[in-house]
């Protein structure tokens, strides 16, 4: 530990390290197969890498406009009209960001003021709570539990007060692998209609949806869209989580305010990658293969782990699946995830860090964005749980 020369006044009550960092570090210390932190262990498309290299070499290396490279925003606008049927103004309704995490942070900073309440659905992706706290907001968690992870919208309605400023939804949902239905979205629309609540819709897994289901994007609900922002991540869509590129979409008046904040903490993001993505996503085949590609991986995981004594909640979306381990252990989920990593050689993510008040479910999350060989090797190790 280095010597501390000045006083520190932490802005966050729990400054802790993210569970992803903790488990990935433990995985590398024990040379465990990492099914914890969500990232593909396979390469992104060579065509995409070639485009990135081409634009870098051709000197696309200076600032681009704050809202995004116009050509990229046009590609995204066409893509959204094609996928969701909603016309999106490329300049006024999109802002390209340094990944979804930054888009979420900027959106929360732009719309949540001191004392404002924000409803989130737990288990919730781990950046929401600290970001709300940094904005001075108050987190109001709705608890979802294994195996359904369902939402009773009457209870949500009862949570709304005159201080509620934002509701954050996430579909397909990390970490449970569930999705919201059309009915869920209509219930949400009924609750926020006529209020000043901003809906922040985390849709980073928009294309990772299975069994023929349609992703219920906020963009399929024109009235709801008028008071919402949707957040996307190229990391998921392009198998390139390390690029940290994403974007936010919404009605002009919300995006205008978003951009006001964005200009002071980012201004614009990486130029040559934007040129490359603009070319790559112009072709629908470069994202339309994603549901079947990942569904095959999910099914392969379920086939290979069929004899492992963990009970899956079959994922409807994302590249995560929740597993109940109560047949093999009485340990709490963090202890069990650490045990799996250090003793069995497979890293997992416990569910409790995604809750304010963990319900005590004996559930862990495994990631299936992996090569078949990786899943096969993990399955062999996990068989040791049979005792
Ligand atoms: N939201 C969810 C639900 C996520 O799972 C992730 C990361 N995988 C993010 C946001 C952050 O995405 P990014 O890496 O683009 O910041
Ligand atoms: N989103 C990834 C996951 O859920 C992790 C991202 C991170 O490490 N911050 O596993």
Q: Name the closest-CA residue to atom 2, ligand 2.
A: 38
Q: Which residues are CB-contacts of 147 (< 8 A; sequence separation ≥ 6)?
A: 313, 322, 324
Say yes or no: 267 and 335 in one domain.
no
How many angstroms is it from 362 CA to the middle of ligand 1? 24
pLDDT at 17: 87
Find the domain containing 267 and state its range: 46-282
User: What's the CATH code of the domain at 157?
Assistant: 3.40.640.10
How many angstroms is it from 181 CA to the middle of ligand 2? 24
- Residue 38 alpha carbon, nearest atom of ligand 1: 8
Establish if 300 belongs to a structural domain.
yes
Say yes or no: 144 and 265 in one domain.
yes
Tell me which of 16, 28, 36, 39 to substitute to probe ligand 2's pocket, judged by most ligand atoms within 8 Å of the beta carbon.
39
- Residue 102 alpha carbon, nearest atom of ligand 1: 16
Q: Name the closest-CA residue to atom 4, ligand 2.
A: 38
Say yes or no: 311 and 336 in one domain.
yes
Q: Which of 247, 282, 317 is the last residue of a domain?
A: 282
- Ligand sitting nearest the alpha carbon of 38: 2
Residues with CB under 6 A from ligand 2: 18, 20, 37-38, 174
pLDDT at 290: 98
How many angstroms is it from 230 CA to the middle of ligand 2? 19
How many angstroms is it from 232 CA to the middle of ligand 1? 8
Establish if 13 belongs to a structural domain.
no
pLDDT at 100: 98
Say yes or no: 276 and 362 in one domain.
no
Say yes or no: 312 and 335 in one domain.
yes
Say yes or no: 204 and 131 in one domain.
yes
pLDDT at 16: 78
Say yes or no: 223 and 300 in one domain.
no
Say yes or no: 359 and 316 in one domain.
yes
Q: Name the closest-CA residue to atom 1, ligand 2.
A: 38
- Residue 349 alpha carbon, nearest atom of ligand 2: 10
CA nearest to 297, candidates 359, 230, 371: 371
Judge if the beta carbon of residue 201 lies within 6 A of ligand 1: no
Q: Which of 262, 282, 302 is the last residue of a domain?
A: 282
- Ligand sitting nearest the alpha carbon of 368: 2
How many angstroms is it from 36 CA to the middle of ligand 2? 9
Say yes or no: 207 and 332 in one domain.
no
Say yes or no: 328 and 189 in one domain.
no
pLDDT at 15: 66
pLDDT tens digits, 100-109 = 999 999 999 9
Establish if 297 belongs to a structural domain.
yes
Q: Work out how many domains the chain is built from and give that number.
A: 2
Residues of the chain predicted below pLDDT 50: none
Global pTM value: 0.97
Judge if the beta carbon of residue 269 lies within 6 A of ligand 1: no
Establish if 8 belongs to a structural domain.
no
Say yes or no: 229 and 362 in one domain.
no
Tell me which of 236, 244, 322, 349 to substitute to probe ligand 1's pocket, judged by most ligand atoms within 8 Å of the beta carbon.
236
Using CA atoms, how far apart are residues 247 and 217, in angstroms rounded to an integer? 14
């Amino acid at each position: 530990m280095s010597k501390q020369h000045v006083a520190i006044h932490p802005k966050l009550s729990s400054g802790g390290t993210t569970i992803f960092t903790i488990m990935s570090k433990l995985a590398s210390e024990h040379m465990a197969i990492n099914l914890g932190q969500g990232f593909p262990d396979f390469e992104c498309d060579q065509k995409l890498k070639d485009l990135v290299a081409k634009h870098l070499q051709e000197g696309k290396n200076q600032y681009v406009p704050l809202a995004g490279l116009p050509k990229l925003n046009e590609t995204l606008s066409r893509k959204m009209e094609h996928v969701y049927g909603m016309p999106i103004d490329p300049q006024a309704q999109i802002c390209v960001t340094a990944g979804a995490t930054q888009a979420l942070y900027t959106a929360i900073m732009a719309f949540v003021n001191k004392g404002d309440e924000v409803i989130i659905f737990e288990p919730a992706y781990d950046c929401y709570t600290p970001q709300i706290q940094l904005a001075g907001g108050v987190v109001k968690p709705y608890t979802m539990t294994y195996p359904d992870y369902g939402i009773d919208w009457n209870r949500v309605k009862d949570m709304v007060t005159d201080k509620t400023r934002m509701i954050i939804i996430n579909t397909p949902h990390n970490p449970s692998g569930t999705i919201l239905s059309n009915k869920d979205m209509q219930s949400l629309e009924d609750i926020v209609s006529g209020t000043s609540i901003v809906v922040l819709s985390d849709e980073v897994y928009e294309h990772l949806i299975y069994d023929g289901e349609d992703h219920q994007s906020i963009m399929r609900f024109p009235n709801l869209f008028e008071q919402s922002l949707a957040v996307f991540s190229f990391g998921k869509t392009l198998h390139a989580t390390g690029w940290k590129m994403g974007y936010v979409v919404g009605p002009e008046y919300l995006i205008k305010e978003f951009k006001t904040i964005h200009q002071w903490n980012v201004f614009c993001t990486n130029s040559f990658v934007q040129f490359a993505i603009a070319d790559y996503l112009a072709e629908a085949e470069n994202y339309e293969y994603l549901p079947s590609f990942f569904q095959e991986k999910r099914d392969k995981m379920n086939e290979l782990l069929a004899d492992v004594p963990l009970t899956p909640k079959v994922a409807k979306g994302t590249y995560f699946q929740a597993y109940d381990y109560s047949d093999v252990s009485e340990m709490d989920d963090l202890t069990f995830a650490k045990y799996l990593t250090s003793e069995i050689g497979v890293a997992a993510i416990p569910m409790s860090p995604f809750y304010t008040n963990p319900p005590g479910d004996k559930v862990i999350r495994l990631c299936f964005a992996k090569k078949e060989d990786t899943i096969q090797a993990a399955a062999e190790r996990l068989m040791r749980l049979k005792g």
